[in-house]
Homo-oligomer: A and B are copies of this chain.
Amino acid sequence: MASIAQPKRQAEVLEAAVTVFHRDGYDAASVQSIADELGILRGSLYHYIEAKEDLLFANLLRAHRDVEAILAEVRRLDATPLERLYAYTRRQVEYTTSTYPTMAVYHRDADKLSADRRRVLAARWRRHERFVVDCIEAAQARGEADPSIPAPALARALVGSLIGVSRWYRPDGRLGPAEVARQCADFALAGLRGRP
């Protein structure tokens, strides 16, 4: 994707690809449908990519970059570990809902990538999880999170409840991103705090 010169154009290509992957399923999606979605010829799209998989990988990598920007913002907050986790959860869910269907495609289709590319994404996931585990451990050390469950288990439960959003969220639903994010974050934070 490095060869796509204009940032605006690159964003449009990625957007069209994720729309088609979500609508048709990654396996059934064709480069032709993505070109149709963009209103360009298939040959023009091949100036920028070698294969359909490039568009999946570029989209999922972009999602990691966006989430890493959220993590960096949350790290900079003047806040307790639990407040950081609350901010992380809200922003993460707002990102999932506002970029729908990117995360739905992520969690359904990431395993279609080649082994090399899956390893790249897995390494970025590990850094993301490390951030969550570190915050939870810090909250436990302050007596603000349930000490009876190991931090990695709490992190998996928290991340599971966030990933779940990409399974059921519909942009035409009754609830807006901010309200969905608030509900998820309230549930998850109470879960981390544990029994009073």
With a CB–CB cut-off of 8 A, which chain B residues contact A180? 153
CA distance A180 to B184 in the complex (A): 22
Given the contacts A27-B27, A108-B111, A157 and B190 also touching, CB distance less than 8 Å:
no
Is there a chain B Cβ closer than 8 Å to A167's Cβ? yes
Q: Name the residue of chain B whose CB is nearest to the CB of A160.
A: B164
Q: Check if A164 sits within 8 Å of B168, measured CB to CB.
A: no
**How distant is the Cα of A195 from the Cα of B192 in the complex, in angstroms?**
11
| B190 contacts A148, C-beta separation under 8 Å | no
Asked if A186 is an interface residue, CB under 8 A from chain B, the answer is yes
Known: A108-B108, A196-B196. 5 other contacts (CB 8 A): A157-B161, A160-B162, A161-B164, A186-B194, A187-B192
* Copies of this chain in its oligomeric complex: 2
Q: Please tell me if A124 contacts chain B, counting CB pairs below 8 Å.
A: no
Q: Tell me which of B161, B183, B186 contacts A161 (CB under 8 A).
A: B161
Given the interface pairs A164-B163, A196-B196, the reply to whether A187 lies near B108 with Cβ below 8 Å is no
Identify whether the interface residues of A are mostly helix, strand, loop, or mixed.
Answer: helix
Which residues on A are within 8 Å of B, measured CB to CB? Answer: 25, 27, 108, 111, 146, 148-150, 153-154, 156-165, 167-168, 175, 180, 183-184, 186-188, 190-196
With A160-B165, A161-B161, A193-B190 already in contact, the answer to whether A183 and B149 are too (CB < 8 A) is: yes
Q: Across the interface, which residues of B come within 8 angstroms of A146, CB to CB?
A: 186-187, 190
Most buried by B among A187, A192, A195: A187
Contacts of A149 in B (CB 8 A): 183, 186-187
Query: Given B108, B164, B195, which contacts A190 in the complex, CB threshold below 8 Å?
Result: B195
CB-nearest residue of chain B to A163: B164
- Interface residue from B164, B187, B195 paired with A164 (Cβ < 8 Å): B164
Alpha-carbon distance A184/B149, docked complex (angstroms):
9
